[in-house]
Structure 1
């Protein structure tokens, strides 16, 4: 998949307090954005994408809230691609590759994220903030 984020015509950014309610708000915002962008919520990629998004926001709320009082979700889409990122200001960068093989080590949420992402033919990457004090986990899925 070679779609670049800059080429995706639809974008939305949402910043929320790193509280459990952020998961629901991020998911509902995604559903509204997809609907506005003309992407059917019945598309076979959308259900798994919403689960991936929920897992990533949950991880930020659970593991990063002490250092990151906010979580930011970036949504983007085009005719053949859906992309989103979850950003927090905790410096720990999880290994996405380890998540695929270490299902018994407490990486269950990330293992689910990776299994769904790869199963859909998508990509996942962790990008550190320039100052090293935060990161974004980016997911790109074909539509």
Structure 2
């Protein structure tokens, strides 16, 4: 009996290996997948608008994290971002915290900011928010 079970297992393995349906999933997936990662390039522009000197540093995350202080407005930074296939699917957060400027009453308020992707505006802080942010995905591209 043990011999028959081993023979049956051996026969099953040989049948599965020889079966075209067993080989089909692996062979049908191989041509569809590319060994080279597929990326998409985007031009991202971060802007902080207004006049005069900023009273807090501008902080941003785009291609890198960074901040800039002692800035006179308007301020702009344009970068190229290449997203991998996974980043295109999951999304890649870009943001700018514009710092503060003085309003007409002398009070500090967030400066106006916006984010453009390939020349198209995708985020602003016109509602008085302290930041501009956008999740860059393959669907974000115009």
- TM-score norm. by structure 1 comes to 0.24
Whichever of the two has the greater Rg, that structure is 2
Query: Which is richer in strand?
Result: 2
Identify the structure with bigger relative contact order (alpha carbons < 8 Å, sequence gap 6+).
1
Which protein has the bigger helix share?
A: 1
